[in-house]
Structure 1
Amino acid sequence: MSERIREKLKILADAAKYDVSCSSSGSTRKNKNKGLGDTGNGICHTYTEDGRCVSLLKILLTNFCIYDCAYCVTRKSNDIKRTAFTVQEVVDLTINFYRRNYIEGLFLSSGIFKDADYTMERLVRVAKKLRSEHNFNGYIHLKSIPGASDELMKEAGLYADRLSVNIEIPTEQGLKLLAPDKDRKDMIQPMNFLKNEIILRESENKTFRNAPLFAPAGQSSQMIIGAAQESDKDIMFTANSLYKNFNLKRVYYSGYVPVSNDNRLPGLNTSVPRIRENRLYQTDWLMRFYGFQVKEIVNQEHPNLDLDIDPKLSWALRNVQQFPIDINRADLHLILRVPGIGIQSARKIVDARRFQRLNWEHLKKLGVALNRAKYFIICNSRNYERRDLSGSQIKQYILSGAQSKALSAVAIQLQLF
């Protein structure tokens, strides 16, 4: 690798780290005709369910940008070193890194130089060259450029496994304040086009065996949180709307990192706490997999998530009148709402109680976190009788127990030295 390419890679890989929407689960692209790569179980810079660490080349095509978004490190007014890859340089890097077993796929985003179509056309050319000229079957995630034409978006979907359009700021008012050159409609339009095209292609695939793949891993988006002082309610209601209206696979939440002293920003000198990101992801999970409605978790009375406890426990404490539930009789929907019971444990409970009535020991073996669940359920056992406690009392008991457990772990560590 030449020194010039090495320097470009250092600059443009560092600039890409602020984009967290690089999960690739859901694609089923297979290796054909002895080509390079195989999407397999999904490529991302993270750990898979079986503990396998996978990686991808995650870069910007360029950090030049015509926009001056207050929250963005590549904004045009920022005094940083600018550079850009050529299309062929990205292709060569991807192939060479793959052959050396450094990566299993490509995540390609970009600043916007000239205009949306000019930039998007180059992103598409990278994917097209990899697929057509190098027979590359590994994972490709392209960041779609807001405002790009439908024709380019359609072509991108034929070569990429996943496409994503960043919504950027949760509220339209926040976007107008921090990125006045951008229009929310330019973000919504490609999302809507991709949704309709994906539905159309899925229908074709059911009818025609050899119908071409179109973004088989779907589309995703990302929101920067904390830059416009929006509430968690604003964030999650926007996310819920994106899931419902555009069939998104994932919405990602990226805590604002101070990258400028722009007076439009809310005077944040530190990054958004990681625990806030975590609570938003937990809420997202409850909406997508546990049957919760967004207004049950965040609403006018509770606009922000509790940072001390997870949102499922927070909801249960606000609705203690709905508990306890009988674990041997309640349906799956209710069991999933019990703090300390995950999806797999809930399904195991429903299966196991067909053969015998379950007690505390059974539940513990099935993976239930009894330190939380015991306040909200009854079962075939009298080892623990649920007392008539208020939500605040239960919260105090749980937090005290967690603190005692943490202190015990520290004591054990000290004994080892």
Structure 2
Amino acid sequence: MNFDRLKEKLEILADAAKYDVSCSSSGGTRKNKKGALGDSSISGICHTYTEDGRCVSLLKILLTNHCIYDCAYCVSRSSNDIKRAAFTVEEVVDLTINFYRRNYIEGLFLSSGIFKNADTTMERLVRVAKKLRLEENFNGYIHLKSIPGASDELMQEAALYADRLSINLEIPTESGLKLLAPEKNRQDMLGPMKYIQNGISQYKDEKKIFRKVPKFAPAGQSTQMIVGATNENDLQIIKVADHFYKNFNLKRVYYSGYVPVLEDKRLPSLTTEVPMLRENRLYQSDWLMRFYGFKAEEIVDPSIPFLDLEVDPKLSWALRHLDQFPVNLQTADYQMILRVPGIGVKTAQKIINARRFQVLHIDHLKKLGAAVNRAKYFIDFNAGNSYLSYLTDKNFRKILIGGSSSKFHTQFSQQLSLF
């Protein structure tokens, strides 16, 4: 083995993989067993986080950055003059095992450019996972990228050997995809997603009947959208995410702010980057849909279809619906308590339990974990709350955030100017 060449490949293909943010290890429950190497259910080059907050290190690479497509937003597009490289199946397997033995990583995240065709690429990704599982007895976490247009047979195999599968929608809308990646079509992406969804559902049904059923993508599937390469507003993006959560049972939707890499008249200027704050607000909105019971159309005001960059989406909703407040924590239902700014899921559950035994006051909220400096304006305690007078103050927004709203309006104008 030529170690210098292998090192060069690793540098090229690890760097090319950095644009893929849908890299997660949450949901894996593959236990260690005698004679096997690794365990995907415990924590220890790429750092990701499980659902319970543990940090996990993954080897995050592309199999190759050769690609037959010329997507305008992609650094690996066929017309881009960059160094190209490709790993063999054996090289990826050896890297994974050697890095794992040295305690550098706890799993593998493997994506790829598409060379020749979808099935050829997907077949090699599957071979990596299969070889790790069957020949190396690797029991650690494996996340594979599903290749748009790959056959059902290959997706079936991939789901048997990988913990999680993900396929990138890339651009939120079909019209945006046609503009920037005219060689691709959305149906090629939806086919593998639907197959995996049906397979997971079938596995769960069979598991109820038979004790031993082969695991099928036990950590589910996810997707990713690029934000800001085309002119979709935040309301459109949130609705797309909501659609895929409801209709494809995805574990996660990831949002990647557009990073200018190439000059192209279809794209925003090379000097223009999507504000990181916008990306952050989309993740917060995503959280509200998944854990707080918010509907997509509630999160953004349709008359101003971009998220407020000055305050988080939950507080923004509260400021637009002051008629829903104050909330009496002693009598309100769980869903309404969740909508109080400064109260999270765990704190809301604690409030429901604690109020059965005592009348709650502001000091109790501090002990239960609420962000009292924010929540106090929206809560009506039976004993009274002097902060409630601010709800009717015309300057309440300024009082709450400690400054004027000019910053938001400036950033909102900058967002519109991108398009």
Q: 1:229 aligns with which of 228, 231, 234?
A: 231
The superposition leaves residues 371-393 of structure 1 with CA deviations (integer Å, 9 ceiling, x where unpaired) of 21122111143452411534862
d(CA) in 2 for partners of 1:224, 1:30: 34
d(CA) in 1 for partners of 2:297, 2:247: 17
The superposition leaves residues 131-160 of structure 1 with CA deviations (integer Å, 9 ceiling, x where unpaired) of 010110000000000000010000100000
Q: 2:352 aligns with which of 350, 372, 375?
A: 350
**SS of residue matched to 2:254:** strand
User: Where does residue 275 of structure 1 map in the other structure?
Assistant: 277
TM-score (normalizing by structure 1): 0.93
Q: 2:55 aligns with which of 36, 49, 53?
A: 53
d(CA) in 2 for partners of 1:196, 1:174: 28
Note the 1:298-309 alignment, pairs <5 A: 298-309=300-311
How far has the Cα of 1:121 moved from its partner? 0.3
Q: Which amino acid aligns with 1:336?
A: L
User: Where does residue 409 of structure 1 map in the other structure?
Assistant: none
User: Where does residue 10 of structure 2 map in the other structure?
Assistant: 9
Note the 1:271-350 alignment, pairs <5 A: 271-350=273-352
Question: Is contact 1:15–1:74 with CA below 8 Å preserved after alignment?
Answer: yes
How far has the Cα of 1:33 moved from its partner? 2.9
**SS of residue matched to 1:374:** helix
User: Where does residue 74 of structure 1 map in the other structure?
Assistant: 76
d(CA) in 2 for partners of 1:187, 1:347: 38
User: Where does residue 264 of structure 1 map in the other structure?
Assistant: 266
Q: Return closer, same or farther for 1:49/1:381 CA change in 2, 3 Å cut-off.
A: farther
Q: 2:205 aligns with which of 203, 206, 217?
A: 203
Q: Return closer, same or farther for 1:111/1:269 CA change in 2, 3 Å cut-off.
A: same
d(CA) in 2 for partners of 1:66, 1:371: 54
User: Where does residue 117 of structure 1 map in the other structure?
Assistant: 119
d(CA) in 1 for partners of 2:299, 2:197: 27
User: Where does residue 359 of structure 1 map in the other structure?
Assistant: 361
Q: Which amino acid aligns with 2:305?
A: P
Provide structure 2 residue ranges, at least 5 long, that are not aligned to the other structure: 406-419
d(CA) in 2 for partners of 1:163, 1:13: 19
How far has the Cα of 1:189 moved from its partner? 1.0
User: Where does residue 413 of structure 1 map in the other structure?
Assistant: none
Question: Is contact 1:105–1:138 with CA below 8 Å preserved after alignment?
Answer: yes
d(CA) in 2 for partners of 1:389, 1:322: 11
Q: Which amino acid aligns with 2:219?
A: A
d(CA) in 1 for partners of 2:54, 2:244: 30
**SS of residue matched to 2:311:** coil
**SS of residue matched to 2:143:** strand
d(CA) in 1 for partners of 2:62, 2:26: 21
Question: Is contact 1:120–1:144 with CA below 8 Å preserved after alignment?
Answer: yes
**SS of residue matched to 2:27:** coil
Q: Which amino acid aligns with 1:9?
A: L
Matched, 1:26 2:31: no
Note the 1:392-411 alignment, pairs <5 A: 393-400=395-402
Question: Is contact 2:148–2:188 with CA below 8 Å preserved after alignment?
Answer: yes
User: Where does residue 156 of structure 1 map in the other structure?
Assistant: 158
How far has the Cα of 1:267 moved from its partner? 2.5
Q: Which amino acid aligns with 2:310?
A: D
Question: Is contact 1:317–1:392 with CA below 8 Å preserved after alignment?
Answer: no
The superposition leaves residues 43-88 of structure 1 with CA deviations (integer Å, 9 ceiling, x where unpaired) of 9723457764320100000000000001000000111000100000
Q: Which amino acid aligns with 1:21?
A: S
Question: Is contact 2:26–2:50 with CA below 8 Å preserved after alignment?
Answer: no
The superposition leaves residues 297-320 of structure 1 with CA deviations (integer Å, 9 ceiling, x where unpaired) of 125223110000000000010000
User: Where does residue 407 of structure 1 map in the other structure?
Assistant: none
d(CA) in 2 for partners of 1:380, 1:397: 24
d(CA) in 2 for partners of 1:299, 1:194: 34
Provide structure 1 residue ranges, at least 5 long, that are not aligned to the other structure: 404-417
How far has the Cα of 1:229 moved from its partner? 1.9
d(CA) in 2 for partners of 1:383, 1:392: 19
d(CA) in 1 for partners of 2:394, 2:268: 33
How far has the Cα of 1:402 moved from its partner? 11
**SS of residue matched to 1:189:** helix
RMSD: 1.8
Question: Is contact 1:335–1:341 with CA below 8 Å preserved after alignment?
Answer: yes
Question: Is contact 2:326–2:378 with CA below 8 Å preserved after alignment?
Answer: yes
The superposition leaves residues 198-223 of structure 1 with CA deviations (integer Å, 9 ceiling, x where unpaired) of 10011112211111000000000000
How far has the Cα of 1:401 moved from its partner? 7.5
The percentage of counterpart residues that share the same residue type is 69
Instruction: State how many pairs are aligned.
Output: 403
**SS of residue matched to 2:335:** helix
d(CA) in 1 for partners of 2:196, 2:380: 47
Q: Return closer, same or farther for 1:247/1:269 CA change in 2, 3 Å cut-off.
A: same
d(CA) in 2 for partners of 1:198, 1:50: 22
Question: Is contact 1:24–1:42 with CA below 8 Å preserved after alignment?
Answer: no
Question: Is contact 1:26–1:42 with CA below 8 Å preserved after alignment?
Answer: no
Q: Return closer, same or farther for 1:3/1:146 CA change in 2, 3 Å cut-off.
A: same
Question: Is contact 1:255–1:272 with CA below 8 Å preserved after alignment?
Answer: yes
Q: Which amino acid aligns with 2:223?
A: S
d(CA) in 2 for partners of 1:371, 1:88: 56
